[in-house]
Amino acid sequence: MTGTQTVTAFTDLYLPTVNGVTYTVALWRDRWSRHHGSMDVVFPEMGGYEPRDGEYDVPSVGAPLYPRYRLGLPAVPSGLETPEIVHVHTPYTVGAAGIRFARQRDVPVVASYHTLLDDRVDQHVPPPLVDVCKRTHRAYERAFLERVDHVVAPTAFARRRLLTAIQPAVDVTVVSNGIDTTMFRPVDPAAFCDAYELPEGPVLGYTGRHGPEKNLEEAIDAVDATDYTLVLAGDGPARASLEVYARTVDADVRFLGFLDREELPAFYSTLDVFVFPSPVETQGLVALEATACATPVVAVDAGALTDSVIDGETGYRYEPGDLESFRWAIRRTLAEHDRLSDLCRRRRQMLSVEHSLEQLGDLYDDVRGN
C-alpha cells in the first residue's frame, strides 16, 4: 500500500446526529479504512452513542441556538496517535482542536467547506443584527481556514462561494463528498409503496431537513391543481407550518416523517421525480442519492444544484422563484423519464465515495509533499 494511510478527522458534528456532514464523515471513515488505511475521528460526545474503535469523543455542552447539537470542548483526547494528515470538517471548537493537534504534531491539515453557515444567520438573530453577524462569521471562517494547508469543497459552486464571500488566502480544490452507491441503487419499490399506501400515478418527492432555508413551500405550490402526489420525507422545524400550508392547496401532499436510512433507496425508486427547491446547498447529497437510484431530479438553478443536477441528463433545473418554470421542468422530466433514468444509471460510478476518496488520497499526498 502506498500513499497516505493514516488520517485523523476532527468534526463538531457526528453520529448519532443525521445530516450531510455526519453522513460524509462516517462514510469516508468506513471506506477509507477499507481501501486505504485508517481514519480516526474526534467528535463531541452525545448521549445514546458509544464510540467504536478509532472514534474518540470529547466532553460537550449544549450548542447555543441549536438544541439538537452538542458543542465539544476544544480538547484533544489522550492516546490519540499522530497521523500522516489531519482533516477538519467544521470550523468550531473541535475543528480548532484539530488544527492545534496538527501543529503540535507537525503534520499537515486539510479542511472541508461543507456548509454555507453565514446564510443561516437570519434564522437566529433579529433583522437589524443580520449584516453585522454575517460579517463577523465570515471573518471568523476566513481566519479559521487560513490556519490550514488546503481546503476541499464538494462542488465548483461551493468553491466559488468560499473564494468570493469568505475570501481565505488558501488553495481550494473541488472533491465531491461522494455517496454509497452500493446502498443507493435502483430497487423494487413495491413493498415501500404498500407500506406507505402510495398511489401509482406520478409521484414526486423530497427527503431531508424541513427547514425554512429548504424552500419546500415552492414544491407544494408546484403540485397545486395537478394529479401529482407529493411525498415529503424527513423532519425539521418547518414541518408543522408546511403541513398547515399543504392543506391550503388542491393537491395530494403527504408527510412521511423521518425514514430509516435503509428505506431511502426504495423511497427514491418509488419517485418519478425528486424535487429539490433548496437554493442553499453546497452539494445536495440527496440529489446525488436520487440520481444513483435512477430517479431524475428537478432542482432550483441555484447554489450547488447548478453543478449537481445536469440539465437534460440527470434531470432539469428551473429559475429561482419561477413557479411556471418549476412546473415546466416537472412536466418535461416526466415526459422524458425513461431516457433521463437511463442516463442517471450511467452516472453512478462517478458519484461513488470510492471515486471521491481516490481524489482525496491524491490531494493528501500532494499536501504532504509525496
pLDDT of residue 115: 78
206 with 233: CB under 8 angstroms? yes
Q: State the Cα–Cα distance between residues 199 and 61, nearest whole angstrom.
A: 45
| Least confident range of 113-117, 120-124, 154-158, 246-250 | 120-124
Q: What is the DSSP letter of 120?
A: G
CATH topology for the 6-178+352-369 domain: Rossmann fold (3.40.50)
DSSP for 197-216 reads: T--SS-EEEEES---GGG-H
Question: What are the sequence ranges of the domains in the chain?
Answer: 6-178+352-369, 189-350
Q: At a CB cut-off of 8 Å and minimum separation 6, what does 270 contact?
A: 189, 192, 193, 198, 203, 205, 231
Q: Which of 297, 306, 300, 347 is nearest to 325 (CA)?
A: 300
282 vs 159, more confident: 159
Share of the chain above pLDDT 90, in %: 83
- The residues facing 50 across adjacent strands are none
pLDDT of residue 1: 42
pLDDT of residue 125: 66
Residue 47, pLDDT above cutoff 90: no
CA distances from 256 to 81, 195, 239, 276 (A): 44, 11, 11, 17
pLDDT of residue 297: 98
Helix, strand, coil shares of the chain, percent, nearest 5, are 40, 20, 40
Q: Could you tell me the pLDDT band of residue 71, with boundaries at 50, 70 and 90?
A: confident
Same fold, 6-178+352-369 and 189-350: yes
> Which alpha helices (H) appear in 121-250, and where do they start and end?
127-145, 156-161, 190-196, 216-222, 239-246
The full length of the chain comes to: 370
Q: State the Cα–Cα distance between residues 69 and 17, nearest whole angstrom.
A: 8
Report residue 88: phi and psi, to 5°. Answer: -100, 135
- 74-88 pLDDT, tens per residue? 999 988 999 999 999
Report residue 152: phi and psi, to 5°. Answer: -115, 140
141 vs 131, more confident: 141
pLDDT of residue 2: 60
pLDDT of residue 124: 63
Q: At a CB cut-off of 8 Å and minimum separation 6, what does 338 contact?
A: none
CA distances from 310 to 287, 320, 331, 344, 356 (A): 11, 16, 17, 10, 18
Residue 64, pLDDT above cutoff 80: no
Residue 68, pLDDT above cutoff 80: no
220 with 300: CB under 8 angstroms? no
User: For residue 16, is the peptide bond before it cis, meaning its omega torsion is within 30 degrees of 0?
Assistant: yes
Residue with cell 412546473: 327
221 with 215: CB under 8 angstroms? no
Kindly provide the residue ranges of all beta strands, DSSP E only, lying in the chain, ordered along the sequence.
Answer: 6-10, 38-44, 55-58, 60-63, 66-72, 85-88, 109-112, 150-153, 172-174, 203-207, 229-233, 252-257, 273-276, 297-300, 315-318
State how far Cα 41 lies from the chain centre.
18
CATH of 189-350, picked from 3.40.30.10, 3.40.50.2000, 3.30.300.10, 3.40.50.300, is 3.40.50.2000
| Least confident range of 131-140, 167-176, 301-310 | 131-140
Residue 344, pLDDT above cutoff 50: yes
